[in-house]
Amino acid sequence: MPRPHLYRQRADVENAYDELKNQWGWGGFTTRDLLRCQIAARMVALVYNWWNLFVRCAEPERAREAITSRPMLLHAVGRLVKSGGQTAPRLTSQHAEANHIQNVLSKLSLFLSGLINTAEQLKPEERWRRIWHRILEPYRLPTAAWLAPSG
């Protein structure tokens, strides 16, 4: 493998550890109780994994770190709107990219509701397979695309 490709792979791995440490609080736990430390570390890792999967499902073509994705997707004011016998949540974002966020979350909502509404005959395993396919789609590129020279 060419060296630049190896350096990019190493940087991607180091970015994950750096993000866990600096953005998710995995910088260290100060207690002598090893079990308590392990539980806290595992909870952080679990939340980190689920958040990354959610963000990747929302925007499969772009990787985002927690420092940008959490303010983007979590900072909104919500209220329940009742109209015509239906109750629906209404979110209002003050983020600079509010239109982009609305577009991304609308597409995700359509995808997920489509799994439930139009595919009621699907078993849960098939629904999960389709979700994983959406998340992993950018990684299904041919190997040549990864090795193409950059710059």
**What residues have CB less than 8 Å from 70, skipping those under 6 apart?**
23, 51
pLDDT given for residue 2 in this prediction: 64
Give 146's pLDDT tier (boundaries 50, 70, 90): low
pLDDT given for residue 33 in this prediction: 86
pLDDT of 81 above 90: yes
Residue type, 102: Q
> DSSP character for 139?
G
> DSSP character for 123?
-
Instruction: Output the pTM of the full model.
Output: 0.71
Both tokens of 132, joined, read 């994983």
CA 18 to each of CA 22, 28, 113: distance values in angstroms, whole numbers, following the listed order: 6, 12, 35
Residue at token pair 């966020």 = 101
Please write the tens of the pLDDT for every residue from 6-56. 777 777 778 878 888 888 888 776 778 888 888 888 898 899 999 999 999
